[in-house]
Amino acid sequence: MCDYCYNPICYFAKSNFRTTHTLFGIKLRDRLHHFYILGKTGTGKTNLLKTKIEQDISFGNGICLIDVHGDLIFSIIQQIPNYRQKDVIYLDATNPSLQLGYNPLRKVSYEKRALVASNILEVFQRLWGNQGWGVKLSHILRNTLLTLLDQPSTSFSDVIKILHDPSFRNECLPNIVNPDIKNFWLKEFKNYGKTDLVPIYNKLGGMLAYPSVKRILIENKQQISIRSIMDKKQILLVNLSKGSIGADASYILGSLLLTSLSSSAFSRIDTPENKREYFFVYLDEFQNYTNLSMIEMLSELRKFKIGIIMAHQYISQLEVKIRDAVLGNVGTIVCFRLGQSDARFMEKEFSPIFESSDFVNLSNYDIYLKLMIDGKPSPAFSGTTVLPHQARK
């Protein structure tokens, strides 16, 4: 018998209407429409994530879990069966001896380089704030990133290097594909003075001064290949504990990792659809490291057999544009108990079956949901989430 007890349905709850308590879940294909979980602290979100993750691991699916606290990863590690231990890659940003890392500038297809550059710029802008951002800075950085993305081998340390080292700049020029970017260096760059470049040096230098950021993005002795992880159905666990490495470092590493995940997913265009392996990305407290560009890519990621599971506590944690993009791009919505403000907002999604007062009064582990079934969202209904060992059928 095969080690992997494969099951196309991921079970996670039981119906709780009157005396009916039927175990239900979501089909494999429907998971590609993505899964959004909302609920107050202590209501059962983590349990739901564990139930789904443990099933994916037992099924032999490839997954990535990004955890900004570290507790969920620790719990999952304890439950990984022996036959899947060889598939585990643990990227622990809190470990000062870590030798693993990743490079968001590595092997990005030409068609997606502009998108990756825009994603990275959005990361920088959110990190530095609008007061530290401007058209000139954005223009210089965009051309810099697009230049480095054209190179056979670069890292984030080269962002500063290309700006102040003419010989390195000259080495990069022959590899630039877009003539407009080449003209930027040949004709325009000489017009920028020290006052234009020093803010970039300071900001990037400050970003790379975080030990965990420098260790993972630059000093890594072993670079993980996210494309390979997807294709081999491996288990990537990413510990970005804010309490250990700081909120800014957690944001930088999480958001840049998502950029790498998306570019790796898009590179699957070289593989026929029926040969692409399913891969599921779990984003706990995703508001800490997700940007608008990433959310807007959800519909495109589906084509490459990537399913995203997002969880957080309050709608107000999201910028309005990100909130609207999430609700407009996910197929399954699961709500645990909510506060008054969130309950009023989600009533619009679940009306006329559930009202705001229903969300406020939910017991722990009870949920209201709209479930994607065979490519179509179901009417809203209620259920009770189950523990991981109860999800086996």
- pLDDT tens figures, 199-252: 899 889 989 999 999 999 998 889 999 999 999 999 999 999 999 999 999 999
pLDDT interval class at 5 (50, 70, 90): low
Nearest to 76 by CA among 308, 388, 307, 310: 388
Answer whether residue 3 shows pLDDT above 50: no
pLDDT at 8: 85
pLDDT tens readout for residues 116-132:
999 999 999 888 887 77
Contact present, 385 and 51 (Cβ < 8 Å): yes
pLDDT score, position 333: 98
Mean pLDDT of 147-175: 95
Distance CA 74, CA 206 (A): 30
Q: What is the pLDDT of residue 294?
A: 80
The highest-confidence range among 11-20, 168-177, 220-229, by mean pLDDT, is: 168-177
Q: What is the pLDDT of residue 6?
A: 55
Residue 48 tokens read as: 């739901």
| N-to-C CA span, the chain | 17
Q: Which of 373, 371, 372, 350 is nearest to 362 (CA)?
A: 350
In whole angstroms, how large is the CA radius of gyration of the chain?
22
The 381-385 sheet, strands edge to edge: 23-27, 9-15, 381-385, 366-370, 332-335, 35-38, 306-312, 279-284, 62-67, 235-239, 88-92
Segment 243-263, tens digit of pLDDT: 999 999 999 999 999 999 999
Tell me, what's the pLDDT at 83?
Answer: 95
Per-residue pLDDT reduced to its tens digit, 311-323: 999 999 999 999 9
Sign of CA dihedral 121, 70, 238, 38: negative
Q: What is the mean pLDDT of the chain?
A: 93
pLDDT score for 51: 97
pLDDT tens-place string over residues 278-313: 999 999 999 999 888 888 888 889 999 999 999 999
Reported as a single tens digit per residue, the pLDDT across 339-381 is 999 999 999 999 999 999 999 999 999 999 999 999 999 999 9
What is the band of 18 on the pLDDT scale with cuts at 50, 70, 90? confident
Q: How confident is the model at residue 1 (pLDDT cuts 50, 70, 90)?
A: very low
